[in-house]
């Protein structure tokens, strides 16, 4: 009888404690530790999943960035190599090398000639272009010496510096009465020679050509343009540089040497050698 009442008392105590804690009486009689283990396992699994996700994301981002940088560097190197490969040189020892020349006015001669000048050494080798290989150039002339078509589309937007360089000597009619009468200049074309634009070479021009063409019957193209005129400083070969900007980095780039003279007074003329398209 005593044991029975003791059991009833213990049961009542358990019911009271359960009511206060919000747990079933079984949690205090024979089930101790089950809830604690469950909570611990859930937390442990959650932490493991979090660690796994973090590692995966980090590796993926790193690999993607590395691949992107590598591709970008490879593309940049390829573009740079293609642009550099577009460089060209013309020493004229094997001939005209794709250069053409013509009179720009019907009925008047083309003075441009390739060969060895009388009384003057070319800059290198035995051949160079000249408006007269022997004696002086003629009156009332308008003619150009034009490069072959060069593909510079691979250099569009490229950081490489592109320039036309050449060596020249010249003796044109001297400056007098406030005028530069005869001369020559460099021009660029982005469309294979369909249009021509003046450029700013270094060393620069002497002044603007304003010839007297009254007896020529026409006005040469050079009139009104800045040009080299008079005698070249130092009476020696001088190298010229002219930058080629993006305007001319097309698949049909050309450049030309434009020459013109008025109705009287001439000189030895213009000599061109060792022309190059330099890319660096």
CB atoms within 10 A of CB 172: 29
| Buried b or exposed e, range 249-270, using 16+ CB within 10 angstroms | bbebbbbbbbbbbbeeebbbbb
- The pLDDT tens digits of the residues spanning 186-236 come to 999 999 999 999 999 999 999 999 999 999 999 999 999 999 999 999 999
How many structural domains is the chain composed of? 1
Measured distance CA(55)–CA(75) in Å, rounded: 31
Give pLDDT, residue 79.
66
Answer yes or no: is 25 within a domain: no
Answer yes or no: is 65 within a domain: no
Answer yes or no: is 31 within a domain: no
pLDDT at 162 over 80: yes
Give pLDDT, residue 81.
84
What is the domain-level CATH number for residue 269?
2.60.120.200
Answer yes or no: is 175 within a domain: yes
Answer yes or no: is 197 within a domain: yes
Q: How many helices (H) and strands (E) does the chain have?
A: 2, 13
- The pLDDT tens digits of the residues spanning 49-107 come to 444 444 444 444 444 444 445 444 545 555 678 999 999 999 999 999 999 999 999 99
Answer yes or no: is 146 within a domain: yes
Give pLDDT, residue 78.
59
Q: Which domain holds residue 190?
A: 88-279
- The pLDDT tens digits of the residues spanning 13-25 come to 444 444 444 444 4
Answer yes or no: is 81 within a domain: no
Answer yes or no: is 187 within a domain: yes
- The pLDDT tens digits of the residues spanning 101-120 come to 999 999 999 999 999 999 99
Of 122, 180, 139, the residue nearest 267 (C-alpha): 139
Share the mean pLDDT of the chain. Answer: 82
Of 142, 165, 149, the residue nearest 99 (C-alpha): 149
């Amino acid at each position: 009888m005593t044991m029975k009442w003791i059991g009833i008392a213990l049961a009542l105590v358990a019911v009271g404690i359960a009511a206060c804690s919000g747990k079933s009486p079984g949690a205090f009689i024979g089930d101790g530790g089950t809830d604690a283990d469950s909570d611990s396992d859930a937390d442990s699994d959650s932490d493991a999943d979090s660690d796994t996700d973090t590692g995966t994301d980090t590796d993926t981002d790193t690999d993607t960035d590395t691949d992107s940088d590598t591709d970008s560097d490879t593309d940049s190197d390829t573009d740079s190599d293609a642009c550099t490969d577009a460089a060209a040189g013309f020493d004229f020892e094997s001939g005209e090398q794709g250069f053409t020349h013509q009179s720009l006015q019907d009925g008047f001669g083309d003075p441009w000639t390739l060969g060895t000048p009388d009384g003057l050494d070319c800059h290198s080798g035995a051949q160079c272009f000249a408006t007269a290989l022997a004696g002086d150039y003629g009156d009332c002339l308008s003619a150009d010496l034009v490069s072959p078509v060069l593909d510079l589309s691979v250099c569009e937007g490229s950081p490489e510096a592109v320039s036309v360089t050449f060596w020249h000597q010249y003796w044109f009619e001297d400056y007098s009465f406030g005028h530069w009468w005869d001369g020559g200049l460099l021009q660029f074309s982005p469309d294979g020679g369909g249009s021509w634009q003046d450029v700013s070479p270094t060393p620069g021009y002497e002044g603007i050509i304003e010839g007297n063409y009254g007896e020529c019957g026409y006005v040469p193209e050079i009139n009104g343009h800045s040009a080299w005129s008079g005698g070249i400083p130092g009476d020696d070969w001088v190298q010229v540089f002219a930058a080629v900007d993006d305007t001319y980095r097309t698949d049909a780039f050309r450049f030309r040497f434009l020459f013109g003279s008025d109705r009287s007074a001439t000189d030895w003329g213009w000599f061109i050698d060792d022309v190059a398209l330099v890319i660096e």
